[in-house]
């Protein structure tokens, strides 16, 4: 379990983390904030408790920090993001995904593509367990994420918006599914 830091991330924290993830200091495969949020959501809600070392390197892709202070700051923001995701998944109705915004014909719209890609990457951390449970209830719970992953920015419409609105409940339901599996020793 990560050390507890009860201070919630604010908009400034999220923007700093996103800017760093998109900076030359991170590798080409570093995740943007929305993708990292989906990735960490799957990691936090999945079948096994993961250590930070199992996911931090994937979020940043071999970062080169200017100094120890920057390393502590950026890694600390990522760990706080994970903690915040985990805490909100535990508390029904609290989870909110961090999604991208794109311009479409109607103005600005929410785009969940990167979040979904991140979620699928997070699932791959425990691929065997996710696969063992594919089908049935878990597949039904994951259906909105699979539907959203098929959309591209040019196809944003009412159905897409409805699926985006369902994401918080979907993520919380998947989290509860895996916690119930732990309690019944169904692994």
Q: Please tell me the class of the 11-184 domain.
A: mainly alpha
The residue ranges of every structural domain in the chain are 11-184
- Provide the 8-state DSSP code for 154: G
CA distance 160 to 60: 29
Q: pTM of the entire structure?
A: 0.91
CA distance 95 to 90: 8
Q: What phi and psi values does residue 57 have, to the nearest 5 degrees? A: -60, -30
Contacts of 67 (CB under 8 A, 6+ apart): none
Please report, in tens digits, the pLDDT of each residue of the chain (187 residues total).
444 455 789 999 999 999 999 999 999 999 999 999 999 999 999 999 999 999 999 999 999 999 999 999 999 999 999 999 999 999 999 999 999 988 767 778 788 989 999 999 999 999 999 999 988 899 999 999 998 888 665 556 788 888 999 999 999 999 999 999 988 865 5
């Amino acid at each position: 379990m990560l050390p507890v830091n009860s201070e919630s991330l604010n908009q400034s924290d999220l923007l700093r983390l996103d800017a760093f993830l998109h900076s030359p200091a991170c590798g080409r495969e570093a995740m943007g904030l929305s993708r990292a949020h989906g990735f960490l959501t799957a990691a936090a809600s999945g079948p096994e408790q993961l250590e930070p070392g199992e996911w931090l390197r994937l979020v940043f892709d071999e970062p080169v920090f200017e100094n120890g202070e920057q390393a502590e700051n950026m890694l600390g923001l990522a760990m706080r993001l994970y903690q915040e995701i985990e805490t909100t998944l535990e508390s029904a109705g609290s989870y909110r995904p961090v999604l991208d915004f794109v311009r479409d014909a109607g103005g600005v719209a929410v785009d969940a593509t990167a979040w979904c890609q991140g979620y699928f990457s997070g699932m791959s951390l425990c691929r065997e367990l996710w696969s063992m449970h594919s089908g049935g209830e878990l597949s039904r719970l994951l259906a909105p994420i699979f539907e959203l992953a098929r959309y591209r920015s040019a196809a944003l419409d009412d159905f897409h918006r409805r699926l985006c609105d369902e994401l918080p409940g979907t993520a919380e339901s998947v989290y509860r599914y895996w916690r119930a599996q732990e309690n019944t020793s169904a692994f």
